Amino acid sequence: MRMKILLLISLLCAGLLLACGGGGSGNLAGGVGSGGSGLASGTVTGFGSVIVDGVTYDDSASVTQAQGGDGVLQTTQAQLGEQVQVVHDGTNAAQRIEIRASLAGPVSSVYVSSTGLLEVLGQPVRLVQTTDQSTTATVLSGYDLSSTPAVAPLTSDVVKVHGLWVNEGTDVLPNYVLQATRLEKLTTLAGTAYLVSGRVVSQSTTTATLNKIGGLVLQLPSATSDSDGVTQLTSLGTGQPMAAWVNATLWNSTSRAWLQSPLPTLRARDAAPRVATGKTAQVSGVVDKVDSVARVITVQEIKVLIPSSFTLPLKGQVVQMQLVTNAISATPAWMAQQIQTRTATTSDLGLGADVSLKEKIANVSWTQSRPFLLTLRGVTVQVTSSTQVTACQSSSVGTFVVMKVAAARPTLGAALLVARSVVCTAN
């Protein structure tokens, strides 16, 4: 099983032009707009600023938005486990943050604990059970699979799912499954459109088939721009990620199936990252493919040459790389200058496996018996006898201190995050 695919692209050269997430030429991220010099695309793993896969971005001057079925960007707040694109200034000061879900609509097949699978709008979703070297447990909102009895998704539920599409089949017979980083129960879904997405496995001039041969067939929209003027579907190809909003009335809630095929789309976008060559980038993520002969790995459709001085990562491993232009050959365009893999030990997984929280708070008594609860940035964590606490015991109740917490989410549906460490400082 492979975890979320994380992509962090921090472009270190001023004036670098990116096109990403459905944005056309001149846009850093579809729907977010342009003007920054760096982009981070990945999973929210903490707050105190916004933390994307373990990397902190100052969000004090940024705006956070999400796009609905009408194409309009609405101001919102990021939540743990959501997929986001962060446009920043090259020094990790966020300018714009766009939240990007993968599916939004009714559950069509209930969760099966033995397989970890459910379906939303007919699309397969895997809830990740544990956090280890290559997976991170799914964040649940509105559900509790650890309770007795478990509170699991029902076919009457409307949900929003964040995650990354992973091929659990082969290159010849692909079977893309959404590995969920967040599953959220909704009371209502704004608008009259549902969201579907996946990886393109075949296409024509007017249609695209997603996730597997014989899978969901979408009719491509004739419009080339969204309501905010961002070019959509700039380049589709096999394996390319795609998302589309479709009319909710085309979903049959009784048979739990679509009424038409190909399915007309209200708007659609490709979501593949595209980076200008000749520049330097930092990339972190799960390895999609490995060519051991050519020593080339693929992370979120970016191919990278791994020099012989580094150990070749395995498929499914989480890696973090400093990339430079490939000086050895013309293809691939990128070569790893530095590389790090997520550690295998459960006590220090690194690379965004922990949830990080930071906030200036008061009225915490460190003389109370453990376990007890702390809430930072709206997230509740449990402080236990095993939690390493630094410089907090001397702070008096009522005195504001900056508290930094590293917390683990060890299993799917765990009721609480458990703090590994708490560090207090005056500022």
Which of 108-122, 137-151, 200-214 comes out lowest in average pLDDT?
Answer: 137-151
pLDDT, tens digit, 9 for 90 and up, residues 391-408: 887 777 777 888 999 887
Q: What is the mean pLDDT of residues 33-55?
A: 75
Q: Is residue 318 classed as helix, strand or coil in its secondary structure?
A: strand
How much is the pLDDT for 285? 72
What's the rounded mean pLDDT across residues 275-303?
A: 74
Contacts of 302 (CB under 8 A, 6+ apart): 7, 273, 275, 283, 334
Which pLDDT tens digit goes with each residue over 167-190? 888 888 989 999 899 999 998 887
Highest averaged pLDDT of the listed ranges 9-13, 262-266, 334-338: 262-266
As a whole number of Å, the end-to-end CA separation of the chain is 41
So what's the pLDDT on residue 103? 96
Residue 149 has pLDDT above 70, yes or no: yes
CA 119 remoteness from chain centre? 19
What average pLDDT does the segment 15-19 reach? Answer: 33
Given this model, what pLDDT does residue 19 score?
Answer: 34
Can you read off the two tokens belonging to residue 347?
């006590």
pLDDT tens digits for range 59-108: 989 999 998 777 778 899 999 999 988 888 778 888 889 999 999 999 99
Closest of 163, 165, 159, 196 to residue 182, by C-alpha: 163
Confidence of residue 7 (pLDDT cuts 50, 70, 90): very low
Q: What percent of the chain has pLDDT over 70?
A: 80
pTM: 0.83
pLDDT at 135: 73
Q: Which two tokens stand for residue 413?
A: 């549906």
272 Cβ contact partners less than 8 Å away, ≥ 6 residues apart? 20, 235, 240, 241, 300, 301
Rounded to whole angstroms, the Cα distance separating 164 from 83 reads 9
The three-class DSSP label of residue 158 is: strand
pLDDT of 90:
74
Q: Cβ neighbours of residue 396 under 8 Å, at least 6 residues apart?
A: none
Asked if residues 37 and 276 have their Cβ atoms less than 8 Å apart, the reply is: no
Residue-level pLDDT at 3: 39
pLDDT of residue 1: 40
- Let me know how long the chain is: 427
Q: Which domains does the chain have, with CATH numbers?
A: 1-353 (no CATH), 355-425 (2.40.50)
**Bond from prior residue into 241 cis (ω within 30 degrees of 0):** no
**DSSP state letters, 12-78:** -STT--EE-TT--TT-SBTTTBS--SEEEEEEEEEETTEEETTEEEB-TT-EEEEE-TTS-EEE---
Note the pLDDT of residue 5: 36
CA distance to 151, 199, 407, per residue, from 413 (Å): 10, 27, 15
- Maximum distance among all alpha carbons in the chain? 67
Question: pLDDT category, 347, cuts 50, 70, 90?
Answer: low
User: What is the pLDDT at residue 69?
Assistant: 74
Does the pLDDT of residue 155 top 90, yes or no? yes
Strand 302-305 to 401-408 pairing? unpaired
The pLDDT > 90 percentage for the chain reads 33
> Over the stretch 232-253, which tens digit does the pLDDT of each residue have?
565 567 777 888 999 999 999 9
Name every residue whose Cβ is closer than 8 Å to that of residue 136 and which is 6 or more positions away in sequence: 3, 4, 43, 128, 181, 352, 353, 409
SS (H, E, C) 183-221: EEEECCCCCCEEEEEEEEEEECCCEEEECECCCEEEECC
> For the chain, what is the mean pLDDT?
79
